[in-house]
Chain A
Amino acid sequence: MENIEKVELTCINCPLGCALTVSKDAASGELIVTGNTCPRGADYARKEVTDPRRIVTSTVRVEGGTLPVVSVKTERDIPKGLIFEVMKAINSIQVNAPVHIGDVILADVCQTGVAVIATKNVCAYPERT
Chain B
Amino acid sequence: MEQHDIVIIGGGPAGLAAAIAARDEGAEDILIVERDHQLGGILNQCIHNGFGLHTFKEELTGPEYAQRFIDKVKEADIPCLLNTIVVDICHGNENESGTKIVTVMNKEQGMIQICAKAVILAMGCRERPRGALNIPGYRPAGIYSAGTAQHYVNIEGKMPGKEVVILGSGDIGLIMARRMTLEGAKVKVVAELMPYSGGLRRNIVQCLDDYGIPLKLSTTVIDIQGKERVEGVTLAKVDGRGKPIPGTEEQIPCDTLLLSVGLIPENELSSQAGVEMNPITNGPKVNESLETSVKGVFACGNVLHVHDLVDYVSQEAGMAGKQAARYVQKECESKNADRDISVVKEEQLRIQQNNMIIELKAEQGVRYTVPSIIHIDRMEDTQVVRFRVGGVYANAKIAVYAGETKMMELKKRIMAPGEMEQIQLKKDKLQELVEQNILTNQITIKVEE
| A interface residues with partner B (beta carbon < 8 Å) | 9-10, 12, 15-17, 37, 54-59, 61, 67-69, 71-73, 80, 83-84, 87, 91, 101, 119-121
Cα of A61 to Cα of B202 in the assembled complex, Å? 29
**Does B414 make an interface contact (CB < 8 A)?**
yes
Partner of A87, one of B153, B182, B204, B414: B182
The reply to whether A120 and B44 form a contact with Cβ atoms under 8 Å apart is yes
* Complexed CA–CA distance, A80 and B210 (Å): 9
Which residues of chain B are near A16, meaning CB under 8 Å? 413-414
The answer to whether A10 and B201 touch across the interface, beta carbons within 8 angstroms, is: yes
Which A residues are CB-close (under 8 A) to B59?
55
Contact A69 B155 (CB under 8 A): yes
B154, B182, B416: most-surrounded residue (chain A CB, <10 A): B182
* Distance, CA A83 to CA B67, complexed state (A): 26
Taking the nearest CB of chain B, how far is it from the CB of A45, in angstroms? Answer: 12
Interface of A is mostly: mixed
Bound-state Cα–Cα, A55 to B61, Å: 10
Contacting pair A54 B154 (CB below 8 A): no
- With contact pairs A10-B201, A119-B64 given, residues A61 and B154 touching in the complex (Cβ less than 8 Å): no
Q: How far is the CA of A55 from the CA of B205 in the complex (A)?
A: 14
Flag whether B108 is at the interface (Cβ < 8 A): no
Say which residue of A17, A54, A120 sits within 8 Å of B210 (CB atoms): A54
Give min CB distance, A18 to chain B, whole Å.
9
**B48 CB–A CB distance under 8 Å:** yes
Q: Is B49 an interface residue (CB 8 A)?
A: yes
Contact A71 B49 (CB under 8 A): no
Interface size class of B (residues with CB under 8 A): 20 to 34
Interface residues of B in 313-353 (CB under 8 A from A): none
Q: Is the CB of B204 within 8 A of A69?
A: no
Q: Which residue on B lies nearest to A55, using beta carbons?
A: B49
Q: Are A121 and B67 in contact (CB-based, < 8 A)? A: yes
Separation of A55 and B200 alpha carbons in the complex (Å): 18
B206 close to A (CB within 8 Å): yes
| Known contacts A71-B154, A72-B47, A120-B63, then 9 further A-B pairs from the complex at CB < 8 Å, ordered by chain A residue | A12-B205, A15-B416, A15-B419, A57-B61, A68-B157, A69-B157, A83-B182, A119-B61, A119-B63
B156 & A73 in contact (Cβ 8 Å cutoff):
no
What 0/1 pattern do residues 338 to 374 of B give for CB contact below 8 A with A?
Answer: 0000000000000000000000000000000000000
Q: Which of B49, B157, B204 contacts A59 (CB 8 A)?
A: B157
Interface residue B276 (Cβ < 8 Å from any Cβ of A) = no
- Shortest distance between the CB of A9 and any CB in chain B (Å): 8
Residues of chain B in range 197-232 having any CB-CB distance to chain A below 8 Å: 200-202, 204-206, 209-210
Which residues of the partner chain A approach B62 to less than 8 Å between Cβ atoms?
71
Beta-carbon contact of A71 and B61 below 8 Å: yes
> Which of B48, B201, B202, B416 makes the CB contact (< 8 A) with A57?
B48
B204: chain A residues within 8 A (beta carbon): 10
Assembly CA distance A19 to B153 (angstroms):
33
A and B contact pairs by CB, cutoff 8 A, 20 listed: A9-B205, A12-B201, A12-B206, A15-B200, A15-B414, A56-B182, A58-B47, A58-B182, A58-B183, A59-B47, A61-B157, A68-B155, A68-B156, A69-B156, A73-B47, A73-B61, A83-B182, A101-B63, A101-B67, A121-B67
Contacts of B60 in A (CB 8 A): 119
Residues of A within 8 A of B201 (CB): 10, 12, 15, 17
